[in-house]
Structure formats: C-alpha cells, structure tokens
Amino acid sequence: MDLRFAATAFATALTIIDPVGMIPLTLVATAGVRRSRQRIVNEAVLVAAGVILLMGLVGHPLLAYLGITLPAFTIAGGILLFLIAIDMLFARPTGVKQTAEETREASEANNPAVFPLAIPMIAGPGTLATVMLLVNQARGNPERYLMVFLAYAVTLALTWLCMRGAARYMHRIGTTGIHVVTRVLGIILAALAVQFVINGLVQTPLLHH
C-alpha cells in the first residue's frame, strides 16, 4: 500500500474542500430559504459527489485530448491550490471558489443546494483540478484510484456531517474556532501546492536536456 500517496490524497481532499469551513457558508446560503436545510444539504453533497466523480473519470482523457501534459497540469493545479491557500490564510477572497457576482446571485436563489453549495463551494475549480491531478498521479494503479475515491468519499461524508449540524456546531465552535481550523488547513494546503509545483517542474522535459 502506497501510504505516501494515500496521505497526500486525504490531506489534499480535506484541505481543499474544508468541511469545517462549510459550516458558516451553509448557514449563510440557507438563511431565509423556505426549504428544509437538511434536504438542501443532502442534495448539495450528492450533486458535488457526482461532479467530482465525473471529473475523476473523464479528467485524464480530457487532458490527453487537449494535449495537456501531466507536468503542465501539475504546475497549474499547484498554483490554483496556492491561491486558495492564500484565501484561507488571510481571508482575502481570490474569486477561485466564488466570485462577488456569484455571491449576489446565490442570495437571490430559492434553492442553494446546487449553487452555490455544491458548485462552486464544494466542487469548485480547485476541487476538480485536484481530483484530476490525483487521478493522473495514480498512473493507472487501481490501488491509487481506490485511495483517491476513498479520500473524497470520506471528506464528503465529513462535509455532510458538518453541514447537517451547521447551526449546532457554529454555536459550540464559534467563529474564532472555525477561523483557526481554516487557517491551519490553509498552511497545509499551501505546502501541498508548493510540492505539486516542484513535482511538475521536476517532471518537465526542459530540466532533462
């Protein structure tokens, strides 16, 4: 069993989705909505899971069709993850997960399950890029594919639990506690992002002439 790859897959999935960070976002997105919050959360996680699975399945053929090499995608994915890490660390919205326009549209939506909770807050560009990145790094190894699947399945389960009990957890943890967890995850994500860029640079043919 490749424990290093498993640790990378789980750490990446956990930090990029940030289940604890979804607690206040769930409360904001569902405020004033007549539909049951529990039903909205169920739909949001199911839709996000479907989108993530789809990108995991078609990601590699899509890259091959577009002529994008693995080193190029690894570097691009690392840069994108680093932008999200900055967002998490300094609370400066970069627009990588959700733009200001999307936020305004979300406040007017009657059903926030698909937008903005499922997309882009759970299955955003960063999450989809990471899934494709990990699947490509699996290099056809069934065991690694299983690790990626389990990493996102467990993370989505934790996200579902956090979103289901959002009001209760928000009361117990408090805003400060959520900020602390988000920043710690941001540090881990920043380190992973830099490592992805280094891996991509090492693999590029330009350094092997």
**Total domains present in the chain:** 1
pLDDT per residue over 17-37, tens digit each? Answer: 999 989 988 988 887 787 889
**Structural domain containing residue 139:** 3-204
Establish whether the linkage from the previous residue to 112 is cis, with ω within 30° of 0: no
Say if 66 falls within a structural domain.
Answer: yes
3-state secondary structure of 64: helix
* pTM reported for the whole predicted model: 0.76
Say if 125 falls within a structural domain.
Answer: yes
Say if 185 falls within a structural domain.
Answer: yes
Does an H or E element contain 186, and which?
helix 166-203
Say if 209 falls within a structural domain.
Answer: no
pLDDT per residue over 119-128, tens digit each? Answer: 878 998 778 8
Proportion of the chain above pLDDT 70, given as a percent? 89
Mean pLDDT of all residues in the chain?
A: 84
pLDDT per residue over 74-106, tens digit each? Answer: 888 888 878 888 887 887 655 555 555 655 554
Q: What is the CATH number of the domain that holds 47?
A: 1.20.1250
Measured CA to CA, the distance from residue 78 to residue 200 in angstroms comes to: 9
Residue 133 has pLDDT above 60, yes or no: yes
Q: What is the pLDDT of residue 63?
A: 79
